[in-house]
């Protein structure tokens, strides 16, 4: 089972996920946002760097969940990110229709 704690940046998702995992005797899975090499550039110019940032987050999240699929299926994992939010951010940040379409196809 996958339990997801979701909220805004800096809201305390990681703290809650850690505490919930400890309380339930589960393992916590934390978003590896620091692995996204495009994030600093995105903060400097979000329009110019949205595509590579959003695609990278989707692939990072997919990889993190894929690596833990056995735990999700056979045990319990508490995550501080929700891959569905990638689609939300892509719809907000990808202004070009074609890029949004490609992102949605990859997401699905």
Q: Which residues are catalytic?
A: 80
Interstrand relation of 77-79 and 27-29 (parallel, antiparallel or unpaired): parallel
Closest among 29, 6, 25 to 78, alpha carbons compared? 29
């Amino acid at each position: 089972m996958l339990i997801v704690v979701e909220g805004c940046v800096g809201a305390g998702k990681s703290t809650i996920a850690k505490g919930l995992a400890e309380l339930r005797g589960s393992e916590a899975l934390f978003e590896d946002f620091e692995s996204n090499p495009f994030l600093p550039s995105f903060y400097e110019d979000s329009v110019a760097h949205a595509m590579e940032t959003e695609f990278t987050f989707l692939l990072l999240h997919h990889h993190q969940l894929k690596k833990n699929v056995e735990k999700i299926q056979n045990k319990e994992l508490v995550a501080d990110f929700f891959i569905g939010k990638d689609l939300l951010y892509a719809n907000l940040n990808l202004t070009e229709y074609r890029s949004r379409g490609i992102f949605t196809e990859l997401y699905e």
